[in-house]
Amino acid sequence: MQRRLNEILNILKLTGSKNWDGDAEYPATYLTYRRLDLDNAIRSALSRKHKTRTSRVRPQAESSQPTTKNAPLFNFTHQINFD
């Protein structure tokens, strides 16, 4: 549970956008801080979820094509004669 909470907080910290206090606000502190960007955080969390998923193994499909015995490539019928 604690690991999950730390992971969520880490995503929120990493995906926040930088905001400079003082560009349009009054009174201003003129400090830069991170603003929560929930859309970016959700997008990041979903992409991490897909990256950590284990790879799937493709099941063996039954072939609907009839099996034929392949003739050997180098046999007596494929000889080249130089007369």
Indicate the domain borders of the chain. Answer: 1-51
How far, in Å, CA of 15 to CA of 41, rounded? 5
Q: What is the pLDDT, as a whole number, of residue 73?
A: 61
Residue 78's pLDDT band (boundaries 50, 70, 90)? low
pTM for the structure as a whole:
0.47
Residue 19's pLDDT band (boundaries 50, 70, 90)? confident
